[in-house]
A and B are shown apart, each in its own frame.
Chain A
Amino acid sequence: MSRVHYGTRAASRLSRRRVLTIAATVGVGASAAGVAGLSVAGEKPVSGDSAPLVLSLRDAKKGTFDVFSGGSKVTLTDAKLAAQLLKAVKRA
């Protein structure tokens, strides 16, 4: 029996480990600046290095990132990481 999934299936392409690897490669350590409180009660947090994680660069100048993982969003500020990623994107 196969199962139909549209939910929080673990992704192989963009995992927490992979993003951390990218960050390590560009030589930047990010610092947590805040946690958004949008999560709905009853959502179980998805944890572990295999959990999908998505970065959104909200403000390139300030280096403000929204980091989405499981049922939460964390806001990070790291101007250097932002610059490195932008540089990488332009190269691609």
Chain B
Amino acid sequence: MSSHREAPEISKDPVADSSDLYAFVSPDEPDTVTIIANYVPLQLPASGPNFFEFGDDVLYEIHVDSNGDGRPDLTYQFRFRTELRNDKTFLYNTGPIDSLDSPNWNRRQFYSVTKVNAQGKATVLAAKLPCPPCNVGKVSIKNYGKLADDAVHKLETGEKVFAGQRADAFFVDLGAIFDLGTLRPFQDQHLIGKTLFKGPGDAVNATDKLNVHSIAVQVPTHLVRRDGKKKVRGRDPGAVIGVWTSASRRQVQVRHGDRKNDDIEVGPQVQVSRLGNPLFNEVIVPMAQKDLWNSLPPSEDKRFVEFVEQPELAALLPVLYPGLFDNLAALNKAKTPRADIVAILLTGIPDGLVPNFQNSTGAVQADMLRLNTAIPPAQTPNAFGVVGGDVAGFPNGRRIADDVVSISLRAIAGATVPLVDEKFEPDAAATAVQQGLSIKDVSKNLLERFPYLPAPFDGFNNPS
């Protein structure tokens, strides 16, 4: 979760594995939208001598759909290139790194940014932008914050970009959830857990003190809207964008073993990873179709609508927690299609269901992170987003501190059914269930400015 190693094939290809996607109106720059795509999940900070990096053989993309057809109207492409300064050493750095052009930094990465418009016209916005180094440790890098600041690049076209290592700010109790759906705060009410536990337990953030590689772009809002307007009303369909990220590899690779430089990678790019809404491929799509889903664009997601209308997890909850989800069980038994989940994940929430809110992109069913760009950042954000009364949060885009696991659990459990069926009464547990974690369970503070994700955990202080 939310998409760390979520499908069989991509779990074996971490360099191309998208783990989280965030999209929000920038709190300190409300005329811009920030989109962050995380890759290379679950990095141990102490990873020498070969520290983590982006794939030079991977095409990373961030897509924006501004007209609701599930196809990109704007794409930012990121291509990386690794350079060695010294091919006689085994070391990542041969001395302290105090700048992005430090001669002591042996293995550096650079990237280009290409913008592709709705007609497929590509424009290279920048080339050879330096990434910051991995956070080796305090002996090698005294002032990591300065290096990271220097790696924020303002483009002439108005965007800010950053690509490099960050702390993973996603919080989830992976160990419990994938142990037959156990939620530690409710472990003593679990079908099997009640025979093992005498009371509730404290959740554990499995992704704490791990790093990721982030690609972040901050875009002036009018550049992502369909009509290019600087000001729109929240009810205007043109205020809503759909966002997803993808990673692709060349269709053919020929390896030559000892003649590495003769290796061949040719052919069209083939998509191997995709991420829109958190958890979509993770817990909605059956394992047998997860790799297929990763290869498709959102415009093909009608193929998966049956799994959204009848989520497997909704059927499991009444079984795993006997007596807590009886109303949900009745809903499941009636095989009522979950129009609420379809709206949240595939079409957006239409106007009129939630006061002063809509993020509908129309009838096309496509898994995209939908953001109403006219809704300003919340003064006091609620981690439960829209279900917590904060329409600036998930599923209106996704902020870093949003508790998407708990929000999704509540929605699947039936808390959002009244949006489409006012007669349905959610189980008390549906509005109370949570994983028991928050952004405070991430051992680093978020930044108050772009790229918002914290500096990566360093190897010296996080040795295991």
Contact = CB atoms under 8 A, between A and B. Distances in A.
A91 B240 CA distance: 62
Interface residues of B, number: 37
A43 B251 CA distance: 14
Given A1-B85, A5-B56, A5-B261, A41 B267 contact: no
A89 interface: no
A42 interface: yes
Given A9-B261, A41-B116, A41-B122, A1 B266 contact: no
B445 interface: no
Contacts of B200: none
A69 B87 contact: no
Interface residues of A, number: 31
B243 interface: no
Chain A interface helix/strand/loop/mixed: loop
A2 interface: yes
Contacts, number: 100
Interface stretch (B18-26, B38-46, B75-83, B90-98): B75-83
Interface stretch (A21-29, A70-78, A80-88): A70-78
B122 A12 contact: no
Contact of B269 (A1, A7, A38): A38
A12 B54 CA distance: 27
A52 B268 contact: no
Contacts of A90: none
A55 B83 CA distance: 31
B83 A53 contact: no
Contact of B268 (A7, A13, A71): A71
A33 interface: no
A12 B84 contact: no
Given A9-B261, A42-B116, A68 B251 contact: yes
B103 to A, nearest CB: 11
Contacts of A46: 266
A82 B222 CA distance: 54
Contact of B55 (A6, A9, A13): A6
A12 B56 contact: no
Interface string B53-71: 0011101010000000000
Nearest to A15: B264
A73 B267 CA distance: 5
A54 B268 contact: no
B267 A13 contact: no
Given A54-B266, A72-B268, A6 B57 contact: yes
Given A5-B261, A7-B57, A71-B269, A42 B114 contact: yes
B265 interface: yes
A15 B263 CA distance: 12
7 contacts: A3-B82, A5-B56, A6-B56, A11-B262, A40-B77, A42-B75, A56-B252
Interface of A: 1-9, 11-14, 36, 38-43, 46, 52-54, 56, 68-73
Given A9-B262, A41-B75, A42-B122, 4 more contacts: A3-B83, A4-B82, A52-B264, A73-B251
Q: Top 9 nearest A-B pairs by Cβ distance?
A: A38-B268, A42-B122, A68-B267, A41-B120, A4-B82, A2-B87, A6-B56, A6-B57, A40-B269
